[in-house]
Chains A and B, each alone.
Chain A
Amino acid sequence: MSFRKFLFPCSLCLATLVLVFVWRESNVSDPITQYLLAIQSIQRGLHTSLSDALRAIQDDGFRASLILIMLSFIYGVFHAAGPGHGKIIISTYLLSHGSQVRRGVILSFAAAMVQGLTAIIIVCSAFWFLSLSMRQTQRIVNHGEVVSFAMITLVGLYITCTHILSVQRKGTVSNKIANSHNHDTVECDHNHGPNTKDLYKELSIRSFIGIILSIGIRPCSGAVIVLLLAFSLGHVVAGLFAVLAMSLGTAIAISLLAAFSVYFRRTAHRIVQSKHDTRHLVGVIPTILGILGGGLIFIVGLSFFISAITAPGHPFR
């Protein structure tokens, strides 16, 4: 309960902060345009401030490092406040699968932190073990993007297939019970195979990890460039803390979206339950939503994967 009490004021403060910045930055009419352009503009400004802060560490060590870490945190929040594939996957998963707010937040935090750690692992290995240049390292990161999209596609496929199989097994098990399992009087302690609850449990843990890894394997582009410049300028420790702060900012922003998705689903569920004519659908809806959600994750992942592998060369990549 205390967790929820803490979550709501925090989310309200953060959202207000983002909206105030957006309102200050924008002078166009349409709210979506206003929002998108303002987010881009703020990111652009932060990008310059991040490189300035990294350069300032040379002369003003500790203070500039603190500024860098603070800016990185803000960059993380704003980076996550814009559109992104990770957010689609997490919100689709949580909207289509029943979950607690706490689990949604854990999922978001884990995905964001894995993204930060991937950036750290790639950049550290490239610099220290492989002695690659900044541009060579960036190319490796670009390949990570393709792997991430492929994994998202597989996770989507896995979720969909598991839901379809669970419907089939449920049918088979209930048929078996109806047809051949009439030893009511005998104590029955043998296993009839996994029940639906077990299947969902298994599904959620596996797909949970799948989602975290598939999103996390593609490091945040902002984290990679900050880390690369930090390594290149010799400010390794400041760079590592900056990336962790950035991941924390991203994690908080994405977990808000996760929490909202969970509330959204619960509200929809309650509405369905409260109506007499739709109440009988309550048992079927989770399965349908699960199949649709998994399918959507699969389609999104596949479209990203195809566009990533078919994209022609770029003069600057």
Chain B
Amino acid sequence: MPRAWACVTAAWFLILSMVTPTVAHPHMWVDLESRVMLHNDGRSIDIYQSWLFDDFFSTAVIEDAAVHPDGKNTGIQQEIDRIVAALEPYNYFTVIKHGSKTLSSKLVGDVEWKIIQNRIQMKFSLAVDKHNGLETQHWSYAIFDPTYYIEMLHAEGATITIEGETSTKCNSWIEQPNPSSDAVALSQSTTLDNNPDETIGRLFAETVHVNC
């Protein structure tokens, strides 16, 4: 009996080792909040995002900033500016989809930050580019790090609020990650490439669906 049990467990571990991205562990955790803002009768869409970084990352940034010659706040602001600039080529880790088509977006307004109980919170908005003639009645967005170095999730049971004139006609829901079948095929893509749909991070990402 112990031997049979041992065999099953060993097989289980081996299967796990093979189906999962073995070098992909999140090293950073971000608590997400997001909401959708509709303008011009739903013709333009903004996605507001709040990223609350984990204590370890935040402490490291604050520690570095503390020795900045112009003071801690300037140090943190510089780091936030650096992060925002570095995130731009990755569309701020946000993938917006209408059917199979990926919609582009751009940063609007300033990026704000504050410290909440030793953790840095960064807030910004992305404007969805709808100038490609799409009637986005049903669209979705996902916020994730393609390499899965950072795990980015909304709080458990979180809801996505939709604001704006036509918001009453809309509803939204968060689809939880379900990496099982895709994981096998995509287990080796460990790079931060140009197609985030084929990366590890996508497997563990939540998808927010919006229907208007």
Contact = CB atoms under 8 A, between A and B. Distances in A.
A40 B204 contact: yes
Interface string A103-137: 00000000000000000000000000000011100
Nearest to B79: A135
B82 to A, nearest CB: 8
Given A83-B22, A91-B10, A138-B60, A314 B192 contact: yes
B191 interface: yes
Given A135-B64, A307-B190, A311-B190, A44 B180 contact: no
A51 interface: yes
A200 interface: no
B191 A44 contact: no
Interface stretch (B96-104, B124-132, B145-153, B164-172): B145-153
A317 B57 CA distance: 11
Contact of B29 (A44, A55, A79): A44
A314 B17 CA distance: 25
Interface of A: 8, 12, 15, 28, 30, 32-33, 35-37, 40, 43-44, 47-48, 51-52, 55, 79, 82-85, 87-88, 91, 95, 133-135, 138, 221, 225, 228-229, 232-233, 256-257, 259-261, 263-264, 266-267, 303-304, 307-308, 310-317
B45 to A, nearest CB: 24
B111 interface: no
A260 B29 contact: no
Contact of A37 (B10, B26, B177, B192): B177
Contacts of B74: none
A58 B86 CA distance: 36
Interface string B2-29: 1101110111011111011111011111
B48 to A, nearest CB: 20
Interface residues of B, number: 56
Contact of A260 (B6, B87, B188): B6
Given A43-B26, A83-B21, 7 more contacts: A32-B15, A36-B16, A51-B55, A87-B13, A91-B10, A257-B9, A314-B147
B95 to A, nearest CB: 15
A83 B187 CA distance: 12
Given A260-B13, A315-B87, A307 B23 contact: yes
A255 to B, nearest CB: 12
A259 B191 contact: no
A273 B29 CA distance: 51
B57 A15 contact: no
Nearest to A306: B190
B190 A83 contact: no
Given A15-B9, A51-B56, A87-B17, A310 B179 contact: no
A312 B192 contact: yes
